[in-house]
Chains A and B, each alone.
Chain A
Amino acid sequence: GDSVTQMEGPVTLSEEAFLTINCTYTATGYPSLFWYVQYPGEGLQLLLKATKADDKGSNKGFEATYRKETTSFHLEKGSVQVSDSAVYFCALKNAGGTSYGKLTFGQGTILTVHP
């Protein structure tokens, strides 16, 4: 079945540092890929998405590129802020069938940014 693997956490950075959170996936066909963010005490929010190979999703300074050849969707940000402290989830949704909104999630990566 489908699966998503994220890098082990937690990740602790200083403000303005460069961020990479690795995400790889296993899936049949051509899935759509997502990054969700969960701020403390809140539900998940969509951060960015990509629906086909070589697409780059971007939002709030975060970027991720859908790499089919390496089955990866790594999240990057050039300069993190304290307000980026949150849990980040990589997820996929496989196209077709009746799994309209059925997402497969990675285990989540806790990011803490210090001033």
Chain B
Amino acid sequence: NAGVTQTPKFQVLKTGQSMTLQCAQDMNHEYMSWYRQDPGMGLRLIHYSVGAGITDQGEVPNGYNVSRSTTEDFPLRLLSAAPSQTSVYFCASSLTSGGLAKNIQYFGAGTRLSVL
């Protein structure tokens, strides 16, 4: 069982370039989300989705776009990368039903992004 898979693991971009971080899960989870992790700040929510065709903004959405065309995939797009977007990005997923089980989020291994 692969769980939550993120690609690439590492990426270096120049300011102004665009790219897409990929996230896929094989657990049939309705809820998927993207976080960024910065030193001393924990994880902050960028965008989330509660099902195919439904997305919403989190705490720090500026500079990022998402879409959810299938249950399995939730890509994160940087349209014009900036040095402030240098961070480690994590994708996570969970159920939205099932009582206490929906409280457990499963995380991918992360994408380390540097913007020069």
B107 touches A107 (CB 8 A): no
**Chain A residues bordering chain B, tally (CB within 8 A):** 23
A12-20, A42-50, A60-68: which one contacts chain B?
A: A42-50
A interface footprint on B43-55 (CB within 8 Å = 1, 0 otherwise): 1110010100000
Chain A minimum-CB-distance residue to B6: A43
Q: Which residues of A contact B42 (CB under 8 A)?
A: 4, 89, 105-108
Number of A-B contacts (CB under 8 A): 62
**Chain B residues bordering chain A, tally (CB within 8 A):** 29
Q: Could you list which residues of chain B lie within 8 angstroms of chain A, going by C-beta atoms?
A: 4, 6, 30-31, 33, 35, 40-45, 48, 50, 58, 90, 92-94, 96, 100, 102-105, 107-110
For the complex formed, measure the closest distance between the CB of B68 and the CB atoms of chain A, giving whole angstroms.
Answer: 14
Q: Which residues of B contact A89 (CB under 8 A)?
A: 42-43
B interface footprint on A103-115 (CB within 8 Å = 1, 0 otherwise): 1011110000000
Q: Which residues of B contact A102 (CB under 8 A)?
A: 33, 45, 48, 58
A101 touches B94 (CB 8 A): yes
Give CA–CA (A46, B104) in the complex, Å: 7
Given the known interface contacts A51-B103, A89-B43, A106-B42, the answer about A101 and B31 at a Cβ–Cβ threshold of 8 Å is yes
Which residue from A44, A46, A107 sits with its C-beta under 8 Å from B40?
A107
